[in-house]
Structure 1
């Protein structure tokens, strides 16, 4: 699946659920929440969690959770791109060009 196709599907899904209405400022709060969940998933996968209220997870369950949270972070970024009418592939090219220029002498 192409990134743009997923973004279009995602925006339609969010609109259907009435989630797309939130402003970019509020959407940033959702992104921050998802980054925190991703941090916890990575920590759990890499060093584990010792919490009495949580069921111990298998390596596969921990890795699936890491993928889920990373996907949630990407989805929030894609919704922000849509809010600002930015094409994801152009953002990726922007990133590459920025890094090439920044490190051109290295």
Structure 2
């Protein structure tokens, strides 16, 4: 799947659910929430969790949850890109250029 295809699908999905209408400020709160969930997924995968209210998960289940939370973070970033009219591929190019220029020897 291409990034643009997923972004188009995602925006359409969010619009159908009336989730797209939230402002970038509110969307940033959603992104922060998803980053927190990703942090928990990474912690659980790497060192585990000993919480009496949670069922024990297999390593595969923990890894699947980590992938799910990474996807949620990416989705929020893609929605923010759409809100600001930014092509996600341009952000990737910008990142490479910035890092290459910053760390030239």
Where on the TM-score scale, by shorter chain, does this alignment land: which range? over 0.9
Instruction: Name stretches of at least 5 consecutive residues in structure 1 with no aligned partner.
Output: none
Instruction: Name stretches of at least 5 consecutive residues in structure 2 with no aligned partner.
Output: none
**Backbone CA RMSD of aligned residues:** 0.4
| Aligned residue pairs, count | 105
The alpha carbon displacement at 1:59 in A equals 0.4
TM-score scaled by length of structure 1: 0.98
CA distances 1:17-64 after superposition (whole Å, capped 9, x unpaired): 000000000000000000000000000000000000000000011000
Deviation above 4 Å: which 4+ runs of structure 1? none
The alpha carbon displacement at 1:104 in A equals 1.2
Where does residue 7 of structure 1 map in the other structure? Answer: 7
Return the alpha-carbon distance in structure 1 between the equivalents of residues 100 and 62 of structure 2. 35
The alpha carbon displacement at 1:98 in A equals 0.3
TM-score scaled by length of structure 2: 0.99
